[in-house]
Amino acid sequence: MGDISKDIKSKFVNNKVKAMLNIIYTANWINSVHNEFFKPFGVSPQQFNILRILRGAGVPLKVQEIKARMLERAPNATRLMDKLCDKHLIQRLPCPGDRRVVHIEITEIGLALLKEIEADLKDDLLDNLSEEEAATLSNLLDKIR
C-alpha cells in the first residue's frame, strides 16, 4: 500500500496538509495512468469525456453545454473538439435559426470507438477499496468541494 510520506520523502505539518498534498499527488498519478491508457486509442481523457457527454445526451449539444458538463473544465475544449472532428468522431451541425450557434454530435465512428475503449476500461485503480470505502471517499471529496 502506498504512503505519500515515503513516496515523496517528506513529513507534514499536520494531517490536513498531508491530505491536501495526497489529493494533488494522487490526482496527478491517476491522470498519468489515464493518459497512458488512452494513447493507443488516439484520444485524450478529455476527448473521451467529450465523446461520453455527447453519447449520453442523445442529441446534438452546443459547445458551451459540452464545456459545462466536462469533468475537467478545459479552456481548450474547442481545440479538443477540432481534433475529434478531424478524426471523424464528432461532427458540427450549424443551427438553421442562428448561424452563430453550432451543435456537436457524435458520429457512428465515435460511438464505435467509445465501445472499444469501454471494453478495455477497468476500474482497477480502486481495486484496493471496498464499495463502502469508495462511497466514503466519494462523500469526503464532495464534502471538500
Q: What's the pLDDT score for residue 10?
A: 79
Asked if 66 and 77 count as a contact pair (C-beta separation under 8 A), the reply is yes
* Domains by residue range for the chain, with CATH: 42-123 (1.10.10.10)
Sites in the chain below the pLDDT cut of 70: 1, 5-6
The percent helix, strand, coil of the chain (3-state, each to 5) is 65, 10, 25
Q: What's the pLDDT score for residue 6?
A: 67
Q: What's the pLDDT score for residue 1?
A: 52
Q: What's the pLDDT score for residue 46?
A: 93
